[in-house]
Amino acid sequence: METIKTLLLTGYRSYELGVFQEKDPKITIIKKAIKNNLRQYTEAGLEWVIVGGNLGVEMWGAEVISQLKLDYPQLHLGVVFPFAEFGEQWNEGNQEKLLRLKQEADYVDSVSHKAYQNPQQLQNHTNFLLQHSDGLLAVFDPEFPGKPKYLLDAAYKVAQNNEYLIDLITMDDLQNTFYE
């Protein structure tokens, strides 16, 4: 398999995991699992990780990438939002997280440069992310479907006709990470 240079990172939103506090111990486990995976990819040649800016796994993953960049300066974080003004309706605390994400990213843009208008913008975003990555790392378990399922379904379609890696961090993986 060829080296993965650009990896798309996604997963559950915080509310899908029942995480409503910054100090929730689940976050520590999820971050550790993401870090373990990203470290392996980075040591094998990974240069970019792209996130869509969603609260939950994508935000936590971006925090992990910021830490990893200290040891792996060749690693970069790209944030590609589906539309302009993404997150502006969020509460103040979540908007602060979004601002930090933008500040820590090496690249920030949106697929649509207009505010949200219709679901097609979300589909265009999914297509863009998949076309501009070599693989997908997702905190997702098929037994517990949620928002990431839409992106995963699209990724599996891409992988049918292209060399596209799909790597899942499942609930079992998270439990194993907890016991490490």
pLDDT tens for residues 61-78?
999 999 999 999 999 999
The CB density around residue 106, as the number of other CB atoms within 10 Å, is 13
**Domain boundaries in the chain?**
6-179
Q: Is residue 2's pLDDT more than 80? A: no
Q: What is the pTM of this model?
A: 0.95
Pick the CATH number of 6-179 from 3.20.20.10, 3.40.50.620, 3.40.50.450, 3.40.50.880: 3.40.50.450
Q: Is residue 144's pLDDT more than 60? A: yes
Give pLDDT, residue 1: 46
Give pLDDT, residue 180: 81
| Mean pLDDT (whole number) for 84-91 | 96
Burial of residue 101 (CB within 10 Å: 0-12, 13-18, 19+) is: buried
| Mean pLDDT (whole number) for 40-48 | 97
